[in-house]
Amino acid sequence: MALQVQSAVSLKPFNTFGVDVSAKAFAEAHNDDEVRQALAFSAEHGLPLLVIGGGSNLLLTADIQALVLRMTSRGVCLLADDGEQVIVEAEAGEAWHPFVLWSLEQGLSGLENLSLIPGTVGAAPMQNIGAYGVEIKDVFHSLTALDRQTGELREFSLGDCAFAYRDSVFKRDTGHWVILRVRFLLSRAAHLHLEYGPVRQRLDEQGIVQPTPKDVSLAICAIRSEKLPDPAVLGNAGSFFKNPLVPASLAAELKRQYPGLTAYPQADGQVKLAAGWLIEHAGWKGYRDAGNGAGVHRLQSLVLVNYGNATGLQLLNLAQRIQNDIAQRYNVQLEMEPNLY
């Protein structure tokens, strides 16, 4: 099937902030061949190629002078099953949360803590998405990506991806690879991660003593729904800032000044601070810019929201003001999670 390329397309439906910018050219790739056609079109017309998934990790600050390629490939299958561990493969365009639900329906454990995260399967390894003590790297088997320069396919193992906190080789080298499909190593037996207090507390409140992966998923969906706005109702990109990693000495100093600060010691000796606590304590929670729709969510200070017709630049300006304030107050640098264009 020939790639259908459109000109001057609004990207408002394709980014969860609901920012209205246009793409010079736009197409959807349903399979590997259409990805190759997009690369050829891009080269032929001298246009950069910007690959997007669910648009849930983008902040668009201007019209995009590129071919924007939305990955819409579909398909999920079991590749191997030894009765204990199962390898599952999903195409890059599969929506993430429905894929998690599908895995639970198959009786598989591993993805339940990652329930209700927006986006697509193909974008998940780029960010090494994570929640409630589990990251993609913990359930990752391998993936297939297309080299934009050579057109060749390459298989990536866990080590090849160089996963780090909300980071990977694909995020650090955005113009090199197009992720086509991803494989996950899941389990028939439940190996639950209940370290995060709110999850255990929710299960206890429900009287669930021996939770199943489905129970954990439902609990996490309930927690996320209460705290995080639905992008279909209120434009947002989920957590906007990464939890900062700081030296133990700075964390100890901040703890002395602010005993309520949430901090998690890391294996490498650094300490991860809760960005949401810092932002809320600085008074930004529920903030709304006068005159435009950029703001901070009233229940979750990690989430920037578009209350109406905020531009990407207005949202970026708000984010930068928050960064500057946190740096001055706490000597902590906040890093943005979304990719900026």
9 within 8 A of 22, measured Cβ to Cβ: yes
Kindly state the DSSP code that residue 81 receives in the 8-state scheme.
E
Torsion of CA 64, 65, 69, 70, to 10 degrees: 10
Strands 64-71 and 49-52 come out as parallel
Q: Which residue blocks in the chain are alpha helix, DSSP H?
A: 32-44, 96-105, 124-127, 169-172, 197-205, 213-227, 248-257, 275-281, 312-330
174 within 8 A of 339, measured Cβ to Cβ: yes
Sign of the torsion formed by the C-alpha atoms of 140, 144, 147 and 152? positive
Q: Measuring CA to CA, which residue among 307, 246, 310, 317 is closest to residue 278?
A: 246
Q: Catalytic: which of 70, 166, 183, 224? A: 166
Strands 245-246 and 271-273 come out as antiparallel
Residue carrying structure tokens 């991660």: 193
In the residue annotation, 337 being an active-site residue is answered as yes
In the residue annotation, 239 being an active-site residue is answered as yes
Q: Catalytic: which of 89, 94, 135, 337? A: 337
Residues 296, 302: Cα–Cα separation, whole Å: 8
Residues 112, 219: Cα–Cα separation, whole Å: 10
Strands 140-147 and 153-157 come out as antiparallel
Residues 6 or more apart whose CB falls under 8 angstroms from that of 68 comprise 9, 11, 14, 23, 25, 26, 27, 50, 52
Kindly state the DSSP code that residue 145 receives in the 8-state scheme.
E
227 within 8 A of 299, measured Cβ to Cβ: yes
* Residues belonging to the active site: 166, 239, 337
